[in-house]
Amino acid sequence: MQFFLLIFFMIRDRFKKIKESLPKGVTLVAVSKTKPIALIEEAYQTGQRIFGENKVQEMVDKQAKLPKDISWHMIGHVQRNKVKYMAPFVDLIHGVDSLKLLKEINKEAIKNDRIISCLLQLKIAEEESKRGMSLTQVEELFATEEYASLKNIKILGLMGMASFVSDQNQIKEEFKHLKSVFDTLQNTLVNMNTLSMGMSGDYLLAIEKGSTMVRLGSVLFGKRE
């Protein structure tokens, strides 16, 4: 019990400090993956309403148990067969990287009589493990008739993950690249206003390079197992 009180206190303190430090116009997504309900409730008590999860099942379970005014963001890779489980409530899907996935999201959005907001994930890191599309692929996607026919999805912007390296210059260059793609696309697509970039280790750099949405886990909730 004392252990929990200590963690609760720590979480309140971290949320307060980080929220105060973020510039206006930068949205905080609190990444709660692997964290228990009690800790999310504590974060909720500080006023936080946007939470990010990377597994559909875990997000669905938590959504059922937590207040309904929470905005749930799916930040992980999404398998098409899992879209239906989150379609009734998900607020923003960050990791969309194909027309096939967009079509599935659109289909499930129609079933739920909703319009589901999405971000396209761009590949900015050199690491093979990081997913995402290229600028050319995004432009090709926007040019297709199929894309134009998807009325129940809305692309709000882009998301990207920098390489997991200590070289700050490399991370900066990757964020700069993402921002330039974002700016290029803004000329062709209205309504794009969200640039999701920056995690615990690199969010200050990301904000410097034009991020409008940071996804923070460990700096808020502590290290994950």
Ligand X SMILES: *Cc1c(COP(=O)(O)O)cnc(C)c1O
CB of 44 or CB of 51, closer to ligand X: 51
CB of 59 or CB of 150, closer to ligand X: 59
Contact (Cβ atoms closer than 8 angstroms) between residue 94 and residue 51: no
- Closest contact distance (angstroms) between CB of 184 and ligand X is 23
Kindly tell me the sign of the dihedral angle through the C-alpha atoms of 199, 121, 151, 186.
positive
Token code pair at residue 13: 């303190």
Closest residue to bound ligand X by CB: 217
- Closest contact distance (angstroms) between CB of 200 and ligand X is 3
CB of 91 or CB of 139, closer to ligand X: 91
- Closest contact distance (angstroms) between CB of 77 and ligand X is 9
Of 91, 203, 199, residue with least CA distance to 153: 91
- How many angstroms separate the CA atoms of 31 and 221, rounded? 8
CB of 31 or CB of 181, closer to ligand X: 31
For residue 17, CA distances in Å to 14, 21, 32, 104, 161 come to: 5, 6, 18, 39, 24
| Contacting residues toward ligand X, per CB under 6 A | 31, 33, 54, 75-76, 161, 199-201, 215-218
- Closest contact distance (angstroms) between CB of 43 and ligand X is 14
- Closest contact distance (angstroms) between CB of 113 and ligand X is 28
Contact (Cβ atoms closer than 8 angstroms) between residue 188 and residue 148: no
CB of 25 or CB of 222, closer to ligand X: 222
